[in-house]
Amino acid sequence: MLVWWRAAFGAVAMGFALGCSITVSEAVHNRFLPAMVCFVVAVLLIRPFRRSQELGLRNAARGLLSGFVVTGGSAVLVLGAGTLAGWISWGKFEPHRVLLFLLTNTIIALLLEALPEELSLRGHTWTALRSRYRGFLAALGTTVLFLLVPGIASAVQLVLGTIFELDTQELSLVPPGQDPVSYVFLLTIFGFTLVAARAATGSLWASVATHLTFLTVNRLTVDGAERDAGWSANLVSQDVLLLVPAYLVLAAVGYYVQSLISRPALSLASSLPQRDR
């Protein structure tokens, strides 16, 4: 039972950090400050309890490259197939607006979501559960706790908003405006994919890159018009949105294949005499 309390601390830490950032966003008209608050709070809560190696903070270049290539490649394949099938059409591409969006989105998404969530969940929580359970059970537990983060953040924001006399949101298990069923379905697949990235590469940076790529692709295409990103995708029906979890599943399969390929290589390397390495 103790291992579950340790694992749950990752979700609580992320929920608290996110709740603090939402509270700050109600007090200031600045997009970067709430993101920085979320990042700093999460790091201060998680980092003292875990060494870099335990969190998977190694092989940064290789992990980031793997995350970007696997997730980005999966998105290109699935959304490209949807385009060829006539399910998706694309709006005008405006390079300067796209570049500006990519710059601001990358900074905010890294600080507000990708780095703190991966450090807390696929870093601390996954490590805690993996010390006791096999891969699937650890992945399932990490993902279930991941699903609790929005609810924890909502509760924290409600308390802090009341204390500081700011506007508060109603207590909710999902972000405002999201359909609960669709949100939980997508977040579950997303959570398993993020764990697959960490497990396949041994590097938390692969999960960070996967997280950032997922957010960027969706915000630049599906939500492009709403976010004034300089490019957008037009869907023939809402059912086409299922292509988003589809490319996440493909990415997860890609990580699984990558893990199968890397295991024989690691086994061979470990079996070689020292003089032959």
Residues 6+ apart with CB under 8 A from 45: 13, 16, 17, 120
Q: Is 178 helix (H, G, I), strand (E, B) or coil?
A: coil
pTM: 0.94
**Token pair for 104:** 């601001």
* Distance (Å, whole) CA 17 – CA 64: 24
Q: What is the pLDDT of residue 273?
A: 52
Dihedral sign from CA coordinates of 231, 237, 243, 244:
positive
Q: How sure is the predictor about 130, in pLDDT bands with cuts at 50, 70 and 90?
A: very high
Inform me whether the pLDDT recorded for 180 exceeds 60.
yes
Q: How many CA atoms lie within 13 A of 211 on its CB side?
A: 28
* Distance (Å, whole) CA 277 – CA 269: 7
pLDDT in tens, 70-84: 999 999 999 999 999
Q: What is the pLDDT of residue 28?
A: 93
Give backbone dihedrals phi and psi of 88, rounded to 5 degrees, phi first: -130, 135
| Torsion angle of C-alpha atoms 246, 65, 42, 123, degrees rounded to 10 | 80
Inform me whether the pLDDT recorded for 277 exceeds 60.
no
Inform me whether the pLDDT recorded for 38 exceeds 50.
yes
| Nearest Cα to Cα of residue 150 among 248, 12, 31 | 12
* Distance (Å, whole) CA 192 – CA 198: 10
CA 225 to chain centre: 22
